[in-house]
């Protein structure tokens, strides 16, 4: 047998793959993605079927536990999520310490990490009961604190989980209900949110998921690993793109609405500007989620009767880019974030909250990937490097430098 360590010591051979464009970091049975064909499946079920026939909590169960739940299983899951939904009152002191203007993703990462302090029990990954309890706790407490980041920014009192409501209904009430006004859930809004959560639920080894796995590979806890995932998701090249899309569309509108000018900026290699919401590391064909969400965006805008000049710019930009040889040759299609931002805006969700919405949707994926990594007893993640610094140098005393 070859001693890999000895061989490496002799040859210095290391695979160099910046951005991990061609490196598989793990074996996973959760999500199948074919970027050339534009196929996405969770646990073998097509994203189209799941988006049209299932719902977010069922999909979360599927992703985390591997099978679609029976009626009894989903009822129990929902009940167990409720059981752990109370967030320690002292967490409110932490959120009170943030300025109202703080970005909700920064607050969410901090609060998620703080959950570790209030729930210090170490999860024994070999024990099914421990894992199940950790899953339910994370599903409920994360949802509550995610909505608190919005309420904090608005100056609203913080809401509690309502044990008589479903998961997505709870999300809407936690976010939007205020004591002085009755809050009615609009089915169009609820369906759109549920679908968006389903479409974001997992996406194999993307930046935030890889982060969750690598942090968890040191046996850091679930809340700590997910907090790291939130930070990774925040960046504009990943989940933060949905916020960046809307900011870009507003900038185009404020600058006279000239879509071609911005297409040219994106094509100019001297200009760092990129068309936000276009392109994807893996999809070199239309993102299948974008197809579904584009239709949902049309439905929501139609049903809510939204008339918004920024959304008109989005349509113009999309049409122009899809015809432009620069984007066509590089297979730069609109990705899921291009349309999700449009729906969130139509639903009245403030731009800074868009990435938090993504995080709520991605939560089951992060949990499932962390659980899979621990159950498979994966080794600690520890990439190597190609050293390009100085060779051995003689130390120079400070007086001689």
Nearer to ligand ACO, 79 or 330 (CB): 330
Nearer to ligand ACO, 216 or 240 (CB): 240
Min CB(335)–ligand ACO separation in Å? 4
Contact residues: ligand ACO, CB under 6 A: 237-239, 241, 266, 274-281, 330, 332, 335-337
Please give the order of strands across the beta sheet that includes 45-46.
Answer: 31-34, 39-42, 45-46
Nearer to ligand ACO, 85 or 355 (CB): 355
CB of 274 closer than 8 Å to CB of 389:
no
Question: Looking at 203, 238, 280, 287, which residue is catalytic?
Answer: 280
Measured CA to CA, the distance from residue 362 to residue 239 in angstroms comes to: 10
CB burial of 38-49 (b: ≥16 within 10 Å; e: otherwise) equals bebbbbebebee
Min CB(200)–ligand ACO separation in Å? 8
Nearer to ligand ACO, 219 or 330 (CB): 330
Min CB(68)–ligand ACO separation in Å? 25
For residue 265, count other CB atoms closer than 10 A to its CB: 15
Backbone angles phi, psi at 56, to 5 degrees: -60, -45
Min CB(343)–ligand ACO separation in Å? 14
For residue 292, what are the contacts with CB-CB under 8 A and spacing of at least 6? 47, 48, 51, 52, 195, 199
Nearer to ligand ACO, 104 or 334 (CB): 334
Min CB(66)–ligand ACO separation in Å? 24
Min CB(242)–ligand ACO separation in Å? 8
Measured CA to CA, the distance from residue 146 to residue 166 in angstroms comes to: 17
Question: Looking at 194, 287, 324, 337, which residue is catalytic?
Answer: 337
Nearer to ligand ACO, 221 or 239 (CB): 239
Measured CA to CA, the distance from residue 54 to residue 50 in angstroms comes to: 5
Min CB(235)–ligand ACO separation in Å? 9
Nearer to ligand ACO, 13 or 319 (CB): 319
Question: Is 337 noted as a catalytic residue in this protein?
Answer: yes
The residues that are catalytic are 280, 337
């Amino acid at each position: 047998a070859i001693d890999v360590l000895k061989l490496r010591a002799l040859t210095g051979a290391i695979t160099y793959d910046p951005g991990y464009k061609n490196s598989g970091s793990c074996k996973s049975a959760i999500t199948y993605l074919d970027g050339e064909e534009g196929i996405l499946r969770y646990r073998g079920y097509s994203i189209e079927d799941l988006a049209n026939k299932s719902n977010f909590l069922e999909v979360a169960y599927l992703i985390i536990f591997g099978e679609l739940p029976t009626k009894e299983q989903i009822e129990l899951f929902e009940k167990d999520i409720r059981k752990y939904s109370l967030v320690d009152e002292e967490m409110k002191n932490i959120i009170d310490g943030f300025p109202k203007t703080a970005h909700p993703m920064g607050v969410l990462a901090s609060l998620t990490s703080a959950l570790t302090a209030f729930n210090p029990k170490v999860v024994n990954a070999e024990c099914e009961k421990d894992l199940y309890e950790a899953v339910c706790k994370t599903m409920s407490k994360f949802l509550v604190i995610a909505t608190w980041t919005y309420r904090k920014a608005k100056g609203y009192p913080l809401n509690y989980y309502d044990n008589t409501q479903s998961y997505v209904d709870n999300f809407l009430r936690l976010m939007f209900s205020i004591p002085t006004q009755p809050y009615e859930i609009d089915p169009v809004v609820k369906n759109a949110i549920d679908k968006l959560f389903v479409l974001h639920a997992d996406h194999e080894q993307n930046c935030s998921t890889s982060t969750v796995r690598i942090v968890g590979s040191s046996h850091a806890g679930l809340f700590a690993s997910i907090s790291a995932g939130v930070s990774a998701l925040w960046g504009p090249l990943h989940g933060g793109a949905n916020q960046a899309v809307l900011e870009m569309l507003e900038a185009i509108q404020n600058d006279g609405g000239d879509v071609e000018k911005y297409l040219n900026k994106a094509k100019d290699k001297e200009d760092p500007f990129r068309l936000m919401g276009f392109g994807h590391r893996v999809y070199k064909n239309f993102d299948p989620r974008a197809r579904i969400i584009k239709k949902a965006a049309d439905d929501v805008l139609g049903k809510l009767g939204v008339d918004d000049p920024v959304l008109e710019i989005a349509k113009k930009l999309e049409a122009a880019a899809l015809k432009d040889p620069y984007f066509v040759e590089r297979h730069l299609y609109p990705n899921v974030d291009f349309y999700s931002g449009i729906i969130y805006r139509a639903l009245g969700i403030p731009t800074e909250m868009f990435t938090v919405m993504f995080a709520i949707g991605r939560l089951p994926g992060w949990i499932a990937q962390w659980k899979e990594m621990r159950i498979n007893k994966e080794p600690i993640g520890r990439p190597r490097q190609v050293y390009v610094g100085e060779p051995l140098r003689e130390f120079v005393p400070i007086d001689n430098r």
